[in-house]
Amino acid sequence: MTETLDTPLHLSPGQIAAYRETGYLRLADALPATELEAYGAEITRLTLALNTQTTPLEERSTYDRAFLQVMNLWRHSETVRRFVLGRRLASVAAQLMGVEAVRLYHDQSLYKEPSGGFTPAHADQYYWPFASDRCVTVWVPLQPVPLDMGPLAFFARSHREAFGRDLEISDESERLITEAMQARGFALDETPYALGDVSFHAGWTFHRAGPNHSDRPRSVMTMIYMDADMRVIEPSNAMQAGDLAQWIPGVKPGDVAASEINPIIWAADDAVATSA
């Protein structure tokens, strides 16, 4: 099952240009449905086993109603490790960022339960103590995601917008960012996903997701990739301080984000060796 996961995927200049213009890219049939179903079963098992959320849905905050969230599953299962450290999606991230090598920040499964709430508008990089914007989140649905299940939706071209970068995900961020994006004419793209479709978005791209109106969980695996030479900055908020301690342990501001749990997944030299 690992052959496709480790086969680099070469983008066209037009796809790279579109990503840099809009702040995101959707790829149809990026991974075979059969592989996603097989790996998805293990990701689901681990998500349920490691989840610590026990509060009834109706009693949770807006954030906690949005999804169940479990990080770094790759450290708990050899099967998930093969999926997360697969070189195919990392090769796409390298092309989009324009870097020679890609390092893993962390993974996270995002399960929006049946009747789960909306995911408020936000930008991921608010949470990350990174010195540059050379970072990408890949969003991999483990089943088709029609509109009624809450597909990830992007405000096109919002990655260059400064307003909202200091907002933590919340009801307030949903209101203020949505109002600002509409006022600036940044259209919301909430295209559904077929099984096999994958999206990539930049750290400062504003995005949201609707509620899950279906009777099935919306199961998604994500990986956050960064430039292998990414340096850490002094955290500017409590979230960044927590992320630095947990996901880049032992690394100090000014150093490369290269702890033992941030392996390099893809490098241009590997691609040359593979094709030689």
Entry pTM? 0.95
For residue 23, what are the domain limits? Answer: 2-266
What's the pLDDT at 24?
98
In a domain, 272, yes or no: no
- Supply the mean pLDDT for the chain: 95
In a domain, 217, yes or no: yes
In a domain, 57, yes or no: yes
219-245 confidence digits (pLDDT tens): 999 999 999 999 999 999 999 999 999
In a domain, 273, yes or no: no
What's the pLDDT at 2?
58
Residues 6+ apart with CB under 8 A from 134: 97, 98, 99, 226, 227, 230
In a domain, 151, yes or no: yes
Q: How many domains does the chain have?
A: 1
What's the pLDDT at 269?
82
CB-CB contact of 43 with 109 (8 Å): yes
Q: Which residue pairs, CB below 8 angstroms and at least 24 apart, start in 252-255?
A: 253/129, 255/231
In a domain, 169, yes or no: yes
In a domain, 43, yes or no: yes
78-114 confidence digits (pLDDT tens): 999 999 999 999 999 999 999 999 999 999 999 999 9
Q: 68-71 and 101-112: which strand pairing? A: antiparallel
In a domain, 24, yes or no: yes
Mean pLDDT throughout 182-200?
Answer: 98
31-66 confidence digits (pLDDT tens): 999 999 999 999 999 999 999 998 998 899 998 888
What's the pLDDT at 272?
37
Task: Specify the CATH number for the domain of residue 145.
Answer: 2.60.120.620
